[in-house]
Amino acid sequence: MNAPEVVSCAGAPRDLGLDQGRAFAARIAQEAAQLRPDGRASRWAFERRSDGRAAAVRRDTLRYFPHMAERAMGLAAGSRVGERALAGLLGRAFHASADVVAVLSGERTGGAACIVRSLRPGKEVFVRHSAPDSDYHSVEAALPWRVPALAGVNQHGLAVASVAAPADPAGGHLAPAVLLTQDALQRFDGVEKALEWLERRPAGGAADFVLADATGAVAAFEIRPKARRRIPLESGARVLGRGPDRAVWDAAVESAGGRDASALCAAAAGTCIVLDPARARMATADAQGPGSWHRAAAPPAA
């Protein structure tokens, strides 16, 4: 398993985006170019996506997730890729993810709760240390061209992971629900507070979430265009998502041996993200086990 790149992003929301954009400018431009029929991307000019959603994604993100929108502005400036292009990339979250997520309670593991998220082969993920000026610090697995994390844990041990579910957002909000992953990490220190935010915050499309915190609390939650609900755990575990690993992970957690993250990583087709809320840390892992652990650092004392 190759170790992912590690990037630190700090400061005001725009500064967080600038750090990420400068670190991955070439890769962001390459990804954005795939949205244009002619295969070119420009800093100032970008042809909106064929489905016409990019401008609306940008508008609704600014309206309902102002910190995420400012971060996206910094990402655009740092990478010299247009804001609408990045909104078009974020808009792909309205399509189903090929990944799955799982949460295991301490009752299940016989120790501490954990979260595992699969990553399909070829997904270009990096480790991001986010240190916002006025919110909680966190360590996350993220894509170079996107603001919201795929999974992460903050300085207080709140761990959140999500996967997009298929949904047609026509007529609804066009700020994708996966933005709530980052929102929860920077705002909350426990599962219950984060769940209350997921229940009421406007967002579009559909997504599945799993949460855990340093106290051992765990939860699973789904957002759909017309409904949101908490999903009960079964025998201290829950797997969500529609990816190819879903069936093998369901089988793993139903078996006597599926009692920790290693069992799920061994069953996955690719790399996994493992979140350890009790120690406020994250690692990427494969069938051989986790690589280096990355800890969510608290801000220095004033």
pLDDT in tens, the chain (302 residues): 678 999 999 999 999 999 999 999 999 999 998 876 554 444 333 334 444 678 899 999 999 999 999 999 999 999 999 999 999 999 988 888 899 999 999 999 989 999 999 998 878 899 999 999 999 999 999 999 999 999 999 999 999 999 999 887 776 789 999 999 999 999 999 999 999 999 999 999 999 999 999 999 999 999 999 899 999 998 899 999 988 889 999 998 888 666 788 888 888 878 899 999 999 999 998 877 788 999 998 776 65
pLDDT of res. 45:
38
pLDDT of res. 214:
97
DSSP 111: S
Q: How many CB atoms lie within 10 A of CB 83?
A: 20
- Radius of gyration from C-alpha coordinates of the chain: 18
Same domain (yes/no): 68, 112: no
**Number of alpha helices (DSSP H) and beta strands (DSSP E) in the chain:** 10, 15
The pairing of strands 100-104 and 114-119 is antiparallel
**Bridge partners for 240 per DSSP:** 101
Residue 10 in any domain: the answer is yes
Residue 279 in any domain: the answer is yes
pLDDT of res. 36:
65
124: amino acid identity, one letter: E
* d(C-alpha 267, C-alpha 244), whole Å: 11
Same domain (yes/no): 175, 263: yes
Same domain (yes/no): 120, 268: yes
Query: Cβ(7)–Cβ(127) under 8 Å?
Result: yes
Query: Cβ(176)–Cβ(94) under 8 Å?
Result: yes
pLDDT of res. 291:
85
* d(C-alpha 146, C-alpha 87), whole Å: 9
Tell me the two tokens of residue 54.
């990019």
pLDDT of res. 275:
97
Same domain (yes/no): 149, 200: yes
List alpha helices for 65-105, DSSP H: 66-79, 83-90
Same domain (yes/no): 50, 104: no
Q: How many CB atoms lie within 10 A of CB 228?
A: 17
pLDDT of res. 46:
39
Would you report the helix, strand and coil content of the chain in percent, each value rounded to 5? 35, 25, 40
Tell me the torsion sign for CA atoms 17, 20, 26, 32: negative
Query: Cβ(124)–Cβ(144) under 8 Å?
Result: yes
Tell me the two tokens of residue 98.
């090929």
Same domain (yes/no): 88, 163: no
pLDDT of res. 41:
43
Structural domain tally of the chain? Answer: 2
Same domain (yes/no): 276, 159: yes
Same domain (yes/no): 251, 271: yes
pLDDT of res. 258:
67
Domain span at residue 63? 6-93
Residue 134 in any domain: the answer is no
Does the pTM exceed 0.95? no
CATH code (residue 258)? 3.60.60.10
Same domain (yes/no): 63, 74: yes
* d(C-alpha 82, C-alpha 67), whole Å: 18
Residue 11 in any domain: the answer is yes
Residue 189 in any domain: the answer is yes
- CA 95 from centroid of its chain's CA atoms: 15
Same domain (yes/no): 111, 243: yes
Same domain (yes/no): 229, 125: yes
Residue with tokens 């002619």: 38
* Phi-psi sector, 256: left (phi>0), alpha (psi -120 to 50), beta: alpha
Same domain (yes/no): 47, 27: yes
96-119 b/e (C-beta count within 10 Å ≥ 16 → b): ebbbbbbbbbbebbeebbbbbbbb
Query: Cβ(280)–Cβ(155) under 8 Å?
Result: yes
Residue 301 in any domain: the answer is no
* d(C-alpha 171, C-alpha 285), whole Å: 40
* d(C-alpha 84, C-alpha 82), whole Å: 5
pLDDT of res. 205:
92
Residue 135 in any domain: the answer is no
